Amino acid sequence: MNREDLRYLFFTIPAIVYIGVFAFYPAFDAVFLSFIGSDGQFTLNNYKELFYFNIYGTIIDTIIVTIGALLIQLLLGLGVASILAREFRGKSFFSTLSIVPMGVATVVSAIAFSFIFQTAGGYANTFLTMLKIHPVNWYANSYISLLVVM
């Protein structure tokens, strides 16, 4: 491994740690805890209860829906990607159009925050008024705004 490869590896370490901490650790911890009983001892009783009830049909339906949705999304994604990989008139428009859904969640969150933290009639101030607390001008002070965003 040369120096350039080590540099790239160094830049990926934060992403690897993030995924490990917030994805893999909780998943492995959940599996581990599923084998622990209420007394703290190793047991298979949790799985005995799981398979005691007739849930096989539900599990099969869930697997079918998951695999079906995954295959449809994969095929559509590969199809769009292969089309956008070619040169054609309007490619930049369609490339931009394919990225727009990624921003929808951010826009919806921003609109929701504006409804919640409106100075007059916002949900947060309405809740504070119900608790007999004076309404807050959320946008008057940069520290309050920063606190709200965090």
pLDDT at 7: 86
- Please report whether residue 113 resides in a domain: yes
Structural domain tally of the chain? 2
Q: Say how far apart CA 122 and CA 146 lie, in whole Å.
A: 18
Q: Which helix (H) or strand (E) element contains residue 69?
A: helix 56-84
pLDDT at 46: 83
Q: What is the pLDDT of residues 109-148, one digit of tens each?
A: 889 988 998 888 889 999 999 999 999 888 887 788 777 7
Q: Which residue has the higher pLDDT, 30 or 47?
A: 30
pLDDT at 145: 78
pTM reported for the whole predicted model: 0.42
pLDDT at 65: 94
pLDDT at 149: 75
- Please report whether residue 91 resides in a domain: no
- Please report whether residue 78 resides in a domain: no
pLDDT at 76: 93
- Please report whether residue 86 resides in a domain: no
- CA angle centred on 15, ends 13 and 18, rounded to 5°: 110
Q: Which two tokens stand for residue 133?
A: 């607390």
Q: What is the pLDDT of residues 36-80, one digit of tens each?
A: 988 989 999 888 877 777 777 888 899 999 999 999 999 999 999
- CA angle centred on 89, ends 84 and 90, rounded to 5°: 65
- Please report whether residue 69 resides in a domain: no
Q: Which two tokens stand for residue 104?
A: 């929808």
The residue range of the domain holding 29 is 1-53
- Please report whether residue 109 resides in a domain: yes
CA distances for 73 relative to 3, 68, 78, 86, angstroms: 39, 9, 8, 20
- Please report whether residue 2 resides in a domain: yes
pLDDT at 87: 92
- Please report whether residue 126 resides in a domain: yes
Q: What is the pLDDT of residues 6-25, one digit of tens each?
A: 888 888 999 999 998 998 99
